[in-house]
């Protein structure tokens, strides 16, 4: 009875082993990688489903297929080289790896790139010889992604390349690098040696930047981060073209890190020529604008008195008259001043002192007026003051004119030798009415000025209606 039980137990163990063996074989059958075992003649003695799908056969038909026949002659030679090398006794090699395309023997069967891992099995069969197992992974998807990525790299207007610790370009990832740096061949060249001749004024900064990067290789990334700011000194570089204008590029250096340690650098070159030129145009336009403003200021501002000139007066006072006519102003007074006996001042004390008198009078006018008032040097010693007002609390033109007259009368101008000069002014004040133009208003103010002069000078003569 015991013997019978032992038999049953043994049979069950055998069945379990058989099942385990079959399960592991099914795993091999279904792995997504191509798996084949080849005999000494390179014929298939075991294949999985991925292989059968690849070559279009059943698992039965796969047996004894000539594996190298699925490769073109050139690729077949590479495959056989690896396989035969592994089979060579004493080669010491137990496995090999290779990227070899399979298929492509007919037009409707395009070649597919595969990554093959080839292993030598230690068991030597008398009938099948030294057996080789091969595992292959389809790289088509990877290649397509790589091609897509490369086409993106090639089309973006950025120069992308990889630089080693010595600043030597080891990979060129985008064709635009050649365009930006005006170089047909970049691999193996020193980036610093390319950039320095085009930017002699930045030689120190470039040397310092490349020195920092070289120093940071092999060290923790934090080492680079701490010194990264120094690289900003080479924010704008120029590259002279052979037949065209210079390009302006902005370089960026991105460390390639492995295990937190800087290994190499990704160099990103951005073409800044357009924005650089646009910036220069803007600066030029700014300068022209400032020059034009200065010229305009010269044209409208009298340098001696600091008051406006007649050029400015015509437009500005005309606008005030138009505003007054529309009822926007309560009052618009035009005051016309003339310095009394100015000719005798010039004749007696010279034009320099005459200029001092003009200057002093200009200062008095400015000190007595608001920003909204327009004070103009109308002629040699003639001045016009336009005074708009909206508020009844604001002082009228007559009062301001009187204050100015009084201030000038009180002013003493030093003529040297302990002596001073006493100067007075006469003025006429006209008020704008709805029928007035600039000419009629000035004409009336001038007539009132004449009246003030005629009545003994150093006085203000106000238009009668305004006086009321």
Partner 1 sequence: MDTQTSSQASSDSLRTLLRDASVVQASQYFNGEEITLIASPPDHQLGQVLKRYIVMVLLSSPELRVVFKVHFNPEQVRAYRLAKGCSPEDLSDKQLVDFMKELSNQMGGRVCRIFDAHQIAMGMSIPLCTRGIYEIYADYKPKTGAITKFGDFWRLDGSFDSIYCSCYVELMSKEDFSHIKCADEQSQEGELDFL
What stretches of 187-330 adopt beta strand conformation (E)?
A: 237-239, 247-258, 261-271
Burial 378-389 (b: 16+ CB within 10 A, else e): beebbbbbbbbb
Alpha-carbon distance of 368 to 397, in angstroms, equals 11
Closest CA to 438 of 338, 307, 326, 322: 322
Asked if 423 and 400 touch (Cβ cutoff 8 Å), the reply is: no
Residue closer to partner 1 (CB basis): 52 or 386:
52
Q: How far is the CB of 4 from partner 1 (least distance, A)?
A: 10
Q: How far is the CB of 134 from partner 1 (least distance, A)?
A: 14
Residue closer to partner 1 (CB basis): 63 or 287:
63
Closest CA to 355 of 366, 367, 342: 342
Alpha-carbon distance of 63 to 57, in angstroms, equals 10
Please compute, for residue 108, the number of CA atoms within 13 A of its CA located in the half-sphere on the CB side.
2
Return the axis-axis angle of helices 273-300 and 310-325, rounded to nearest 10°: 80
Residue closer to partner 1 (CB basis): 12 or 99:
12
Q: How far is the CB of 132 from partner 1 (least distance, A)?
A: 12
Closest CA to 196 of 238, 246, 252: 238
Which residues form the interface with partner 1 (CB under 8 A)?
7, 10-11, 14-15, 18, 21-22, 25, 37, 39, 45-46, 58-60, 63, 123, 125-128, 131
Residue closer to partner 1 (CB basis): 37 or 452:
37
Residues labelled as active-site residues: 381
Q: How far is the CB of 37 from partner 1 (least distance, A)?
A: 6
Q: How far is the CB of 269 from partner 1 (least distance, A)?
A: 56
Residue closer to partner 1 (CB basis): 6 or 297:
6
Alpha-carbon distance of 378 to 344, in angstroms, equals 20
Alpha-carbon distance of 115 to 221, in angstroms, equals 34
């Amino acid at each position: 009875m015991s013997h019978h039980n032992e038999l049953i137990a043994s049979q069950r163990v055998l069945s379990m082993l058989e099942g385990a063996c079959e399960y592991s074989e099914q795993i091999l059958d279904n792995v997504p990688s191509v798996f084949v075992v080849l005999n000494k003649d390179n014929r298939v003695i075991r294949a999985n489903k991925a292989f059968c799908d690849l070559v279009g056969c059943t698992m039965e038909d796969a047996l004894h297929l000539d594996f190298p026949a699925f490769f073109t002659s050139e690729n077949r030679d590479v495959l056989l080289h690896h396989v035969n090398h592994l089979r060579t006794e004493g080669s010491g090699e137990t496995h090999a790896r290779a990227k070899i395309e399979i298929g492509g023997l007919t037009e409707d069967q395009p070649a597919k790139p595969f990554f093959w891992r080839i292993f030598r099995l230690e068991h030597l069969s008398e009938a099948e010889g030294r057996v080789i197992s091969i595992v292959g992974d389809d790289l088509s998807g990877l290649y397509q992604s790589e091609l897509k990525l490369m086409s993106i790299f090639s089309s973006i207007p950025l120069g992308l390349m990889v630089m080693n610790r010595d600043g030597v370009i080891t990979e060129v990832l985008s064709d635009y690098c050649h365009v930006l740096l005006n170089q047909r061949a970049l691999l193996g060249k020193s980036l610093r040696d390319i950039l320095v001749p085009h930017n002699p004024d930045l030689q120190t900064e470039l040397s310092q930047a490349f020195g920092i990067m070289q120093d940071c290789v092999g060290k923790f990334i934090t080492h680079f981060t701490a010194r990264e700011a120094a690289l900003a000194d080479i924010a704008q570089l120029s590259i002279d073209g052979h037949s065209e204008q210079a390009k302006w590029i902005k370089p960026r250096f991105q460390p390639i890190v492995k295990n937190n340690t800087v290994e190499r650098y990704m160099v990103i070159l951005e073409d800044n020529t357009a924005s650089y030129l646009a910036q220069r145009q803007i600066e030029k336009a700014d300068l022209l604008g400032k020059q034009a403003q200065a010229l305009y200021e010269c044209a409208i501002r009298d340098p001696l008195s600091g008051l406006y000139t007649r050029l400015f007066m015509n437009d500005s006072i005309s606008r005030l008259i138009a505003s007054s006519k529309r009822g926007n102003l309560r009052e618009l007074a035009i005051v016309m001043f003339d310095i009394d006996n100015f000719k005798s001042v010039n004749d007696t004390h010279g034009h320099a002192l005459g200029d001092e008198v003009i200057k002093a009078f200009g200062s008095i006018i400015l000190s007595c007026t608001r920003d909204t008032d327009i004070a103009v040097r109308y002629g040699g010693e003639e001045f016009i003051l336009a005074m708009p007002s909206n508020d009844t609390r604001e002082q009228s033109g007559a009062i301001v004119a009187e204050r100015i007259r009084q201030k000038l009368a009180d002013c003493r101008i030093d003529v040297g030798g302990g002596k001073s000069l006493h100067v007075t002014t006469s003025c006429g004040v006209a008020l704008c009415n709805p029928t007035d133009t600039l000419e009629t208003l000035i004409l009336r103010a001038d007539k009132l000025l004449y009246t003030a002069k005629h009545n003994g000078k150093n006085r203000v003569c106000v238009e009668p209606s305004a006086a009321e």
